C-alpha cells in the first residue's frame, strides 16, 4: 500500500520513514505539483489540512505532521508558529536564543509537540499527538537532526543531550514525532480496513 507523506520538510520525511520502517507500506514523498494549504494556529487543524490536500490531489491515503516548540518563558510561543518564527533554521534558533537571554536554567523548560494526521481520498481523517519535554540550551550543540534540535535538550544532569547530539534512533525513541507516528501506525489497520 502506498501512503503519501504530505510535507516539504526533508528532516520530517527522513524521520517518519525511519519510524514507520517496519510497516508493510510504501511511504512516498509529496509530488512537487501538490500545493500544501496555508497554516493557522492549531496543530491538529493544520496537520489534517495538509493530509487532506495530499489525499485529494494524489488519490492515496496521506499522512502529515504539524509540529512546534512551546517555550514556557515565552508563554508557550512559538508553538504552531514555530516554522514562521524566522526565515530559516539558523535565524529561528538565533531569535530563540536572543529571546531567552538572561532567563535562568530553571525557567528554560520547553516541549516539542507533534500532531500526526491521516486522511483518505474518500474523506475520512484523524490525528495522534505526541509530546517531548525538555529545555532550551544557552547555545547550539550537535550537528544531527534538524530545526530547533541543536538548542533543545532532553535528559537531566550528566545525561542531558541536545536532540542534535542524539543518534537518529535515540531521537525517534523519545521524540514528539516518534510518539505521534507510532500511535498513528497502530491506527493504520483500522483505517485501511474501513471502506
# binding residues, ligand ITT (CB under 6 A): 22
Binding mask 159-178 for ligand ITT (x = CB under 6 A): ----x-----------x-x-
Residue 122 annotated to the active site:
no
Distance CA 112, CA 132 (A): 5
Binding segment (CB under 6 A) for ligand ITT, from list 59-67, 98-106, 122-130, 185-193: 59-67
Q: By CB neighbour count within 10 A (0-12 exposed, 13-18 middle, 19+ buried), where does 52 fall? A: buried
Q: Show the site string, 113-142: x = touches ligand ITT by CB under 6 A, - = not.
A: ------------------------------
Nearest of 137, 133, 182, 183 to residue 164 by alpha carbon: 137
Within the chain, residue ranges assigned H as helices are 10-19, 43-58, 89-99, 168-174, 176-193
Q: Which of 123, 136, 134 is closest to 194 using CA atoms?
A: 123
CB nearer to ligand ITT: give 88 or 122: 88
Q: Say whether residue 149 binds ligand ITT (CB under 6 A).
A: yes
Which neighbouring-strand residues pair with 69? 79, 112
Beta carbon nearer to ligand ITT, 83 or 103: 83
- Give CA 43 to chain center in angstroms: 10
Cβ contact 64:5 at 8 Å: yes
Nearer to ligand ITT, 97 or 122 (CB): 97
Nearest to ligand ITT by Cβ — which residue? 147
Q: Which position among 34, 73, 74, 83 is part of the footprint of ligand ITT (CB under 6 A)?
A: 83
Write out the residues near ligand ITT by the rule CB under 6 A. 7-9, 12, 36, 39, 65-69, 82-83, 112, 145-149, 163, 175, 177
Amino acid at each position: 500500500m502506498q501512503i503519501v507523506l504530505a510535507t516539504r520538510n526533508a528532516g520530517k520525511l527522513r524521520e517518519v520513514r525511519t519510524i514507520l520502517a517496519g510497516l508493510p507500506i510504501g511511504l512516498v514523498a509529496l509530488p512537487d505539483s501538490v500545493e500544501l494549504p496555508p497554516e493557522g494556529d492549531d496543530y491538529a487543524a493544520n496537520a489534517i489540512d495538509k493530509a487532506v490536500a495530499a489525499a485529494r490531489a494524489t488519490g492515496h491515503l496521506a499522512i502529515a505532521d504539524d509540529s512546534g516548540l512551546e517555550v514556557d518563558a515565552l508563554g508557550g510561543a512559538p508553538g504552531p508558529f514555530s516554522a514562521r518564527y524566522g526565515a530559516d533554521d539558523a535565524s529561528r534558533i538565533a531569535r530563540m536564543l536572543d529571546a531567552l537571554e538572561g532567563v535562568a536554567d530553571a525557567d528554560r523548560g520547553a516541549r516539542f509537540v507533534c500532531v500526526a494526521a491521516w486522511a483518505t481520498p474518500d474523506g475520512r481523517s484523524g490525528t495522534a499527538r505526541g509530546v517531548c519535554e525538555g529545555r532550551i540550551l544557552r547555545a547550539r550543540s550537535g550537528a544531527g537532526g534538524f530545526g530547533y534540535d541543536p538548542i533543545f535538550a532532553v535528559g537531566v544532569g550528566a545525561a542531558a543531550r541536545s536532540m542534535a547530539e542524539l543518534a537518529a534512533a535515540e531521537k525517534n525513541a523519545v521524540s514528539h514525532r516518534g510518539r505521534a507516528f507510532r500511535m498513528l501506525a497502530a491506527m493504520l489497520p483500522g483505517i485501511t480496513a474501513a471502506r
